Amino acid sequence: MDALWSDMLEKQPIVSQMMINSIKKSRISHAYLFHGDKGTGKYEMAQLFAMSIFCQQRTTIDPCQQCSDCRRIKSGNHPDLHIIIPDGASIKKDQILHLQKEFTYTGLESNKKMYIISQAEKMTDNASNRLLKFLEEPSKQTTAILLTENSHSVLSTIRSRCQLMAFKPLNPNQLQESLQQEGLTEANARMMTSITNNLTEAIEKSKDTWFAQSRKLVVQLIEMLQQNQDEVPIFVHTQWMPHFTERAQLQEGLDLLMLWFRDMVQIHLDEPSAIVYTNHQDKLEAASIHWSLEHATENLQHIMTAKRKLESNVHPQLVLEQLTLHIQR
């Protein structure tokens, strides 16, 4: 579905209104720096902005989406819009030099020219210095949009020549709605929203078999802690640890375990609409009989302690063994 400014206003109200105002008043800055987390709509807005600038059929703030200019911008083939992405691990000086050379020619179809630099923080020092020279001599009809997840990694002299646009994390309701529009079930969308506020990451996780298996292991561990406590150490050793092999993965496993006990607290408080593991409500109710509200709350504290130990480089298996012992008590 083609994005409109009304969609952008819902996701990023402040930035969107500023960009809309600049179009309406024909006060386009020569350079913008869009900064914010991955998945917050930076490229989507840059593309929509370009279409609004180049579209010759536009009658409102929104581009028509159908004309030759709009279609070529969407496909990345517009002659007066140049998009730079990292070449391997970085954006190199030659890429900026090539861009400058392209911009010495007048626009092929109008006097306007625009370029988008994705992951601008990955410019080499030489590329950054070259771009700085380019930004210091702006053409009236040229607009630069730099996209970054880390604005502090962009040269301060470049930042000072750009209009800074801060993209906020999506709020959970917006994110869940966006995920359901992408085809996720309500249960899956709610789970992903609890794990991340990043749309792109949430979509990737929803398709990730490793993450799906992680959720299964959490449910299995909970059932074992309730019914077969003697087998928990073997389960941790033979199934949990081989799956969560890195500390970051183990932190994610503990996050999923924490969500389970938070859900259990919601069951105790008679707030079923707030639970995340909606596909396992019967198991949650069984677990809430096994663990009282007080115990569920204590277990959340034990999981937080385990997460801190992992950050302090305590041996991962030892952390898990201690945690499961605490939960069993």
CATH number for the domain spanning 308: value is: 1.20.272
CA dihedral 79, 81, 85, 91 (to 10 degrees): 90
Q: Is residue 13 situated within a structural domain?
A: yes
Residues 146 and 294 in one domain: no
Give the β-pairing of 113-117 and 81-84: parallel
Helix (H, G, I), strand (E, B) or coil at 84: strand
Whether residues 117 and 231 fall in one domain = no
Residue 202 lies in a domain: no
Whether 193 is in a domain gets the answer no
pLDDT band at residue 108 using 50, 70 and 90 as cut-offs: low
User: 76-107 pLDDT, tens per residue?
Assistant: 899 899 999 999 889 999 999 999 888 776 55
pTM score, two decimals? 0.67
pLDDT per residue over 117-148, tens digit each?
999 999 999 999 999 988 887 676 889 999 99
What is d(CA 267, CA 281) in angstroms, rounded to the nearest whole number? 9
User: Does 296 have pLDDT greater than 60?
Assistant: yes
pLDDT number for residue 85? 95
Find the helix or strand (DSSP H, E) in which 188 lies.
helix 186-195
Q: What is the CATH number of the domain that holds 29?
A: 3.40.50.300
Residues 96 and 159 reside in one and the same domain: yes
152 and 220 within one domain: no
In this predicted structure, what is the pLDDT of residue 110? 65
**Token pair for 137:** 């001599």
Give DSSP secondary structure letters for 206-271. HT-HHHHHHHHHHHHHHHHHHH-GGGHHHHIIIIIHHHS-SHHHHHHHHHHHHHHHHHHHHHHTT-
58 Cβ neighbours under 8 A, 6+ residues apart = 52, 64
Structurally, the chain folds into a number of domains equal to 2
For 15-34, write each residue's pLDDT tens digit. 999 999 999 998 899 999 99
Residue 15 lies in a domain: yes
Asked whether residue 124 falls in the same domain as residue 232, the answer is no
How high is the mean pLDDT of the chain?
Answer: 91
Instruction: Say yes or no: 156 and 225 in one domain.
Output: no
Q: Is residue 318 a part of any domain in this protein?
A: yes
Domain that includes residue 114, residue range: 5-169
182 found inside a domain: no
